[in-house]
Every structure is written in C-alpha cells, then in structure tokens.
Amino acid sequence: MTAAVVINGQVLAEQVRFDLKDKVALLDKTPELAVVMVGHNPASEIYVKAKERACAEVGIISSQHHLEEDASEEEVLDLIDSLNHNRDVTGILVQLPLPKHLDEKRVLYAIAPEKDVDGFHPLNTGCMVQKRENAFVPCTPKGIMRIVHYAKEDITGLHAVVVGRSQIVGLPVANLLLQENCTVTIAHSKTKNLPEICREADILVVAIGKPQFITKEYIKPGAIVVDVGINRTDEGLKGDVCFDDAYGLASYLTPVPKGVGPMTIAMLLENTYQAYLKQNRS
C-alpha cells in the first residue's frame, strides 16, 4: 500500500473563492454577511477573523456585531431581529459557542431561514433532509462532501462510517452521504466495537473532538479518511485522527490544520451567495 494522497483543503477552498469572486462581481448589489459574536472566546475570534478575510477576498461585505459576554438573551434576539429586517444583510451567522447563560437553539432558530447561511435552522434541516432544491446545507458537512468528491466522484454503494452524531457535523454529513447512495453507519460514544465498525469504512468521517483518537486499527487499507476534529493541544492543533497511522493506510486523507477547516469557510461564502440569489429571485 502506498502513502495516502493528502487533500489540501486550502487549495480546494482557494478554487471555490476564485470561482465565487467572478460570480459575486456580476451581482447588482454586494452581498453582506452579518457575523454576531457574544463575549470573547479566543478561538471564535480567530475563526471570525478568518471569515472576514475570506469575505473580503470574494467581494462580500462582512459586518461584525459584537455583544458583551453578559449580554441578555433578549439583547441577542433583538440584534438578530434587526438583522433579519435589514434589507442590506444577506446572511446571518451566530458564532458558536455562545456563553452558557444563552439558549443556543432559541438564538439560532431566531434567524430568518432565508438568511440562515449556517443552515442550522430546523426549516433548513428539514429542507436538506427532504432534498429540497436551494436548502442551505450546513457549511462543514457541505465542505466534507466536496472533499469526498475530490477523492472519488461516484460514491454509490460505498460504505461510509461517520463517527460523531452532532447536529452540525455528524448527522447532516451522514444524511448527505446517504443521499449519494452510500451505505451509512453512524457511530457515537455508546457504539460498541468501534474499531471493527470503522475498519469496514470505505469512507471514514471522524468528528468527535478527541485528539488523535483514530489510530491504525480503525482504518481499512485504501479508505478515504476525512478528519473533522480541531483539538488545541500542547503540541498545537490536532485532528481526531492520528495522521501518521492514517497516512500509511488511507488512499486519501485530510490533514489538520488545512483540511476541512478552510472548506467550511469557503462553503459559508457559497451559502451567502446562494442566499443572495434566493432573496433576489425575480
């Protein structure tokens, strides 16, 4: 078995931005992404800056709406309401995690579905599951699918194992893989015989938030391995997959950093462009 092809998410994301920049330039009006942040989470601040830079690159305006750590839920909801009604605002993103005293679901569900570029509103979740045209697909799962397709165009009949069942990554990506005719297994913290199950995967997507948890006994030779995890450790940023183990076994592999992360941001830009088209349909 030869070494895996390492998929450079930065290069794929650059291509998406390149294509998008031309399309955005042709619009009558410049789309605007409103980013809502509550408090001062250092990791969130890095992500928000990266999103701001990416928007600038493709010609999307990004406006920052920063509330203090102790902002009340009513203040956050009032801000979202005003952004919902602001005709200049195309997309709204609430940077997670929110401070503990805020009800995350209540805040996310307050975003107008047509501006929900993160795709977390239940209406968009429902539309995605029902394969409705123009549903907003959450950015990380959408980016993962692009990566999988970079490795293999037709994934019909492949066995995909998704480790993690969160609303924002595991569940939606499992659904998208199913829509493309994979046989899908969803594993989680209560799953028994996880290494055996993972070893059956032609496509292994790991989103658990445990640094280097997936080692060689979890990987089928030749598998496409997508590492979604972002874990801050004393040795720097690490994925959920032990890169060195996977490198010798997988056919394709995403690194951390520079794997899924940049594609997530690129998909956010695509969703903002899609929101503009939706809102300006004649």
CB of 139 closer than 8 Å to CB of 16? no
CB of 273 to ligand NDP, least distance (A): 19
Q: Which of 15, 21, 78, 95 is catalytic?
A: 95
95 belongs to the catalytic site: yes
21 belongs to the catalytic site: no
User: Going residue by residue from 162 to 191, which x/- string records binding to ligand NDP, judged by CB under 6 A?
Assistant: -xxxx-xxx----------------xxxxx
Tell whether residue 266 is a contact of ligand NDP (CB under 6 A): no
Q: Which of residues 122-141 bind ligand NDP (CB under 6 A)?
A: 140
For 278, the token pair is 């939706």
Number of chain positions touching ligand NDP (CB under 6 A): 25
Q: Which of 118, 202, 227, 240 is catalytic?
A: 118
Q: From the list 209, 216, 237, 247, which residue makes contact with ligand NDP (rule: CB under 6 A)?
A: 209
Q: What is the DSSP string of 184-252?
A: EEEE-TT-SSHHHHHTT-SEEEE-S--TT-B-GGG--TT-EEEE---EEETTEEE-SB-HHHHHTT-SE
Distance separating alpha carbons of residues 250 and 267, to the nearest angstrom: 25
For 123, the token pair is 């209406």
As separate numbers, helices (DSSP H) first and strands (DSSP E) second, the chain gives 10, 11
CB atoms closer than 10 angstroms to residue 56? 11
CB of 85 to ligand NDP, least distance (A): 29
Contact footprint for ligand NDP (CB under 6 A): 140, 163-166, 168-170, 187-191, 194, 207-210, 228-231, 260-261, 264
Active site residues: 51, 95, 118
